[in-house]
């Protein structure tokens, strides 16, 4: 498992809602030269790939909602006039963090998924732990 | 009796400073550094208080400076943490 990165952990926990949203974001990051529709993303990520037309439509709609959410977080941008999306981080720092995240998921996808759901340690937690006498704790 | 009280105050604040700074060295959580510095200031204050009581001198003006500096660093650190 990779060493935990506090800033990356906080970013994942606060900005990314699920593993699927993470997959969508990283897909757009890795294929940032193009703009993609939710239908294309669903096909490329093989989400509900062999399901019925109805469940495929539901999955496409769900990805559309993930994209809207990512756009609200200023991680992707909707292209003008078309319902396609392109990766576009709001600043260089976020861009560097997503590049780090992409490298991390190549090595340890489970660690990245865990960071989405596990609350990052706050300063108050660290403060309380400093006075702990349990073994293995500072 | 008062000297014992001052020594205990020094021991407690120095222990807190040590524990906080030790935890900061392993976790790198900045809040621990700021609070460790704050407690170090209080520990120095208490140490001067012990010296004050022992040599019967009046270092009250000097005593306040480390606490003031330590607490200012602590408050600044808290504000920095909030700003992210």
Query: Range with the lowest mean pLDDT among A98-102, A105-109, B40-44, B49-53?
Result: A105-109
pLDDT in tens, A119-134: 877 777 788 888 876 5
**Nearest-5° angle of CA A26, CA A122, CA B72?**
125
Chain A CB contacts of B16 under 8 Å are 131
Surface of A (72-101) touching B: CB under 8 A? none
* pTM: predicted TM-score of the whole model, two decimal places: 0.61
A1 confidence band (pLDDT: 50, 70, 90): very low
Query: Range with the lowest mean pLDDT among A1-5, A19-23, B67-71?
Result: A1-5
Distance between A5 CA and the closest CA of chain B, angstroms: 11
pLDDT in tens, A48-70: 666 677 777 888 888 999 999 99
Substitution target from A3, A10, A14, A126 for chain B, most B beta carbons within 10 A: A126
Q: Which range, A34-38, A81-85, B78-82, is most confident?
A: A34-38
CA distance A55 to A71: 24
Chain A CB contacts of B15 under 8 Å are none
The H or E element that residue A87 is part of is: strand A84-87
**Nearest-5° angle of CA A101, CA B82, CA B15?**
100
Query: Range with the lowest mean pLDDT among A71-85, B48-62, B68-82?
Result: B48-62
CA distance B35 to B73: 8
Q: Cβ of B31 and A121 within 8 Å? A: no
The pLDDT of residue A4? 52
Within an 8 Å CB–CB cutoff, is residue A123 touching chain B? Answer: yes
Domain boundaries, chain B: 2-83
Q: Regarding predicted confidence, which is higher, B18 or A15?
A: B18
Beta bridge partners of B47: none
pLDDT in tens, B37-68: 999 999 999 998 888 877 767 777 778 899 99
Q: Cβ of B26 and A138 within 8 Å? A: yes
In the DSSP assignment, the letter for residue B63 is: H
Residue of B nearest to A120 (CA): B29
Q: What is the mean pLDDT of chain A?
A: 83
- How far is CA B2 from each of CA B7, B49, B51, B58, rounded to the nearest angstrom? 9, 10, 12, 15
What residue has token string 């976790």? Answer: B27
Asked if residue B76 has pLDDT above 50, the reply is yes
The pLDDT of residue A118? 84
The pLDDT of residue B2? 84
Residue of A nearest to B32 (CA): A127
Q: Cβ of A126 and B35 within 8 Å? A: no
The pLDDT of residue A48? 66
Asked if residue A76 has pLDDT above 80, the reply is yes
């Amino acid at each position: 498992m990779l060493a935990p990165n506090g800033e990356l952990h906080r970013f994942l926990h606060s900005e990314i809602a699920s593993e699927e949203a993470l997959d969508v974001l990283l897909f757009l990051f890795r294929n940032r030269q193009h703009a993609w529709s939710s239908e294309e993303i669903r096909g490329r990520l093989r989400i509900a790939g062999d399901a019925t037309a109805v469940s495929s439509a539901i999955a496409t709609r769900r990805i559309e909602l993930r994209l809207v959410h990512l756009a609200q977080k200023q991680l992707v941008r909707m292209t003008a006039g078309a319902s396609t999306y392109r990766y576009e981080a709001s600043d260089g720092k976020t861009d560097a963090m997503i590049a780090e995240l992409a490298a991390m998921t190549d090595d340890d996808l489970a660690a990245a998924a865990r960071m989405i759901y596990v609350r990052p340690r706050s300063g108050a937690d660290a403060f309380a732990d400093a006075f702990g006498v349990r073994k293995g704790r500072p | 009796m008062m000297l014992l009280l001052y020594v205990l105050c020094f021991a407690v604040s120095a222990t807190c400073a040590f524990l906080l700074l030790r935890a900061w060295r392993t976790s790198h959580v900045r809040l621990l550094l700021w609070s460790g510095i704050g407690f170090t200031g209080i520990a120095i204050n208490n140490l001067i208080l012990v010296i004050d009581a022992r040599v019967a001198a009046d270092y009250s003006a000097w005593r306040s400076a480390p606490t003031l500096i330590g607490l200012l660093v602590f408050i600044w650190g808290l504000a920095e943490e909030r700003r992210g």
